[in-house]
Amino acid sequence: PPWQAADLTVLDKEQFFEELKRLYRKKVLPLELASKYAQFHSAPLNPADFEAKPMVLLLGQYSVGKTSFIRSLLQGDFPGQRVGPEPTTDRFMAVMHGPEPRLVPGHALAMQADKPFRGVASFGNNFLTKFEAAEVPAPILRNITLIDSPGILSGEKQRLGRDYDYQAVIQWFADRADLIIIMFDAHKLDISDELRIVMDALRIHQDKIRILLNKADQIDSQQLMRIYGALMWSLGKVVNTPEVCRVYIGSFWEHPLKHSQNRFLLEKEKADLLAELDGLPQNAVVRRINELVKRARSVKVHAYLIHYLRKQVPTVFGKSEKQAKLLQTLPREFVACARRYGLPLGDFPDINKFRARLGEVKDLR
């Protein structure tokens, strides 16, 4: 889009988000409502979805240091934190900015219109009791929100221990995150099948994924090379793109480095990672624009499609019979509609999903 050429860094972000919200409310939302977009795709956006700070999602097997990583970014504690060598964090935690430390339970969080978590309500009560926000006045949280997650366990524990859809929750956060950091422990490196499944599901978010090889100061530089090499060896096969994933090597907790052989490297890597976090708010502007454009395109096609189908459904008699028949002829309708209104077929929704939704809609009109 032509506006990417403008220098967005000089823009006032607040004003920008206001303008995006206005555009959405005036131009896109009415079409969404008129064409039942929510029933086919996703619920209308909230103002909070525009204003939300960039989210950083932390993932990894248990005990790799996710919670300690957050503490080191905050340079202090946060309410509800639990750190330890056994699986400790048992819930998803949104670590957010607030005037003073406090915990907000999941049920309350999912109700707040000014927080971007209304969507999680759909994961049900079991999940909401395992979801919390921790508010702290740490400076870094003025720019970003961190999402701590319970460690990915292996085998039975993963499946039995959790009474909500862990995979779907991860996916929900990943969809909304601006950065996904997958952490590994240089001490005990292995990629469990469960982690592999998670990474596989996140493949579409490749560009947002960063790897962090944590606790890298605990071993000497030759061991570190071996471990790092083994990690890249396996990652290359899991991610399976020719482009190499950015892997940060570091040690993020309050203690000083143990082996100083790698000091130079670890300090540079830390600086790089912090710089990337610092840059998120700026990039978020571009990302939000792109997302709105993407959504607007999808809404436009949807509205034409619904309009086209509606024209074929009689107003009074034989409505449902005709609607049922349309389910059969859908592939043909897609092509005809695309040709009629000059829409690219590539912008059309997945036909099977669409058919399923259409089957659920009682009255298209």
Ligand X SMILES: Nc1ncnc2c1ncn2[C@@H]1O[C@H](COP(=O)(O)OP(=O)(O)OP(=O)(O)O)[C@@H](O)[C@H]1O
Could you list the residues that contact ligand X (CB under 6 A)? 60, 62-68, 83-85, 87-89, 150-151, 214-215, 218, 251-253
**Burial classification of residue 259, based on how many CB atoms lie within 10 Å of its CB (0-12 exposed, 13-18 middle, 19 or more buried):** middle
* From 125-133, 139-147, 171-179, 265-273, span contacting its own copies (CB under 8 A): 265-273
What is the Cα–Cα distance from 287 to 285, expressed in whole angstroms?
A: 5
Which of the stretches 6-14, 110-118, 239-247, 337-345 binds its own copies when contact is defined by CB under 8 A? 239-247
Counting contacts by CB under 8 A, is residue 230 touching its own copies?
A: yes
* Contact status: 193 vs its own copies (CB under 8 A): no
Residue 222 touches which of Mg ion, ligand X, its own copies, none (CB < 5 to 8 A by kind)? its own copies
Residue 140 found at the interface with its own copies (CB under 8 A): no
* CA angle, 188 then 198 then 94, to 5°: 90
Q: Considering only the stretches 23-31, 67-75, 139-147, 232-240, report the one whose residues sit in contact with Mg ion under the rule CB under 5 A.
A: 67-75
Tell me which of 6, 100, 233, 352 binds its own copies, using CB under 8 A: 233
CA angle 275, 276, 277 (to 5 degrees): 90
The phi and psi torsions of 210 (rounded to 5 degrees) equal -125, 150
Q: Which residues of 35-71 are buried (b: 16+ CB within 10 A; e: fewer)?
A: bbbeebbeeebbeebbbbbbbbbbbbbbbbbbbbbbb
129 makes contact with its own copies (CB under 8 A): no
Beta strands in 137-235 (DSSP E): 145-148, 179-185, 209-214
CA distances from 243 to 24, 237, 363 (A): 35, 12, 48
| C-alpha distances in Å from residue 57, one per residue of 20, 150, 179 | 24, 11, 6
Interaction of residue 232 with its own copies, rule CB under 8 A: yes
**How many residues interact with its own copies (rule CB under 8 A)?**
27
Structure-token pair, residue 304: 């034409």
Contact window for its own copies (CB under 8 A) among 22-30, 57-65, 78-86, 244-252: 244-252
In angstroms, give the least distance from the CB of 275 to its own copies.
Answer: 13
**Of Mg ion, its own copies, ligand X, none, which one does residue 214 interact with (CB within 5 to 8 Å by kind)?**
ligand X
For its own copies, the binding residues (CB under 8 A) are 220-222, 225-226, 228-237, 240, 242, 244-245, 247, 249, 261-262, 264-265, 268-269
